[in-house]
Amino acid sequence: VGYGANPAFPEVIQRKRQVIADAVRKYKEFLRTPQDIIRYVGGFDIAALCGAMVRCGELRIPFVLDGFITAVAFACAAKIHPDVARVMIPSHLSKEPGMKYALALGGINEDEVPIRAGLALGEGTGAILELNILRTMLYTVAHIDQMAHLEAEAMEACRAKSS
């Protein structure tokens, strides 16, 4: 766990860590599957996200991963249904300390994550940025012929000015 968007209160992170440590200690013998871990240590948000991701994997519907909580849900979902990793589109590498570990548990290398902005806000900022990157990429691919033509015209104009 990390500070999230609020590093001003170090007692909060200590409390988070203590709650998780206590839960792991109390339920250690029951923590066998990803579903068990969510049930005993996770929250409703992680359970809901994990379920949605598993369904996306089953239906081959792409989704954008945004931040640490979704990365934790993704790690569980990828263990439940390996095809989840094939439809997941990472957005940003959260500054939360567990982000890289959660991605690795889902089979994703941190180098595959395009945005490195130190985000830890929790409201989907990375996903919004990623969607704009994807739109730009799709536009570029769809209009590559036109772009190549414009590039050729620009090169010709430069040559004409040089001579």
CATH number of the domain encompassing residue 47 = 3.40.50.10210
Q: Is residue 1 part of a domain?
A: no
| Joined tokens for residue 102 | 């959660």
**Does the active-site annotation cover 123?**
yes
The Cα 93–Cα 138 span in angstroms is 22
Say if 13 falls within a structural domain. Answer: no
What pTM did the predictor assign?
0.78
Q: Can you tell me the distance from the alpha carbon of 146 to that of 142, in angstroms, rounded to the nearest whole number? A: 9
Position 93 scores a pLDDT of 87
End-to-end CA distance of the chain, in Å?
63
Displacement of CA 30 from its chain's centroid (Å): 28
Catalytic residue among 123, 151, 153, 156: 123
| Total domains, the chain | 1
Range of the domain at 62: 31-161
Residue 135: inside a domain: yes
DSSP 56-81: HHHHT--EEEEHHHHHHHHHHHHHH-
pLDDT for 114: 85
Burial of 18 (0-12, 13-18, 19+ CB in 10 A): exposed
With a cut of 50, list the residues of the chain below it in pLDDT.
none
Tell me the helices (H) and strands (E) count for the chain, helix number first.
8, 2
